[in-house]
Amino acid sequence: MELSAIIPHIEALIFASEKPLTTAEIVELINNAFGFMEERVSHDQVSSCLEGITEKYNSEFFPFEVKESGGGWQFLSKKDFHQTIAQLNGDKFLKRLSTAALETLSIIAYKQPITKGEIESIRGVNSDYSIQKLLEKELIIISGRNEHLPGKPLIYATSKNFMDYFGINTTDDLPKIKEVLAEQFIEPTIINHSAGEIETDTISENQALPEPTDAVETNNTESYPAPSEDATIPHQNDTDSSIDEASATE
């Protein structure tokens, strides 16, 4: 079967599907549709067709594209039309995750499978609320229980909706932590006393950073009394202050 005859059927399947379709699923669906034919469509043929379809919709003439995201192929609108589509979807489209939820989600994404106790150990605060909101948004799932810990706590992992939400196909597409940290250069100021000039240099990975000190420089010579033993420290909690959690009643 010619590739040009297969392409429209692949486009129709991706367009009509309610969930992202993998290449293997497309192969099976195409062969089921043309089951009476002796020559079956191969995985390589469908992959070649998908490459052509992807290139076709990458053209500036189309406001959407075919992309492998969320574990499969799907039609997605291009970034240039974000503001236009936001008008159609209203406030629901503009909802964002709070800082607390993003922290929790990041830990689960990079440490999965992980228990709630391990999440809270890393964050240092109770994470019940964030985990509940992430479950409600279907960004994480309960993947089982840890049989080796007391009480056999639940184990959390990211979902396919998580990959779709962030536009990635697998968790392997997440940015590597080393790559993120590598972009943060530290450039200390070096004073060249002989030349009377100020230069900057970048600390390499093998150079040790100076030890932090407990002293804090200040231009104010006034001293401030230490807090009394009766002073209370504000309790840190796990509320989603930055999100429009009027949706907390969802």
Q: 199 pairs with which residues across the strands?
A: 190
Return residue ranges of the chain for CATH 1.10.10.10: 3-89, 96-175
- CA–CA distance from 180 to each of 171, 173, 174, 185 (Å)? 16, 13, 11, 11
Q: Per residue in 34-70, pLDDT tens?
A: 875 667 889 999 999 999 999 999 998 999 999 988 7
pLDDT digits (tens, 9 = 90+) for 97-132: 888 999 999 999 999 899 999 999 999 999 999 999
Options 2.60.40.150, 1.10.3720.10, 3.40.50.720, 1.10.10.10; which CATH number does 3-89 get? 1.10.10.10
* C-beta of residue 87 within 8 angstroms of C-beta of residue 94: no
pTM (2 d.p.): 0.56
What is the CATH number assigned to the segment(s) 96-175?
1.10.10.10
Q: Identify the band that residue 245 occupies on the pLDDT scale cut at 50, 70 and 90.
A: very low
H or E element at residue 123:
helix 116-123
Report the 10 Å Cβ neighbour count for 230. Answer: 5
SS3 165: helix
What pLDDT is recorded for position 216? 43
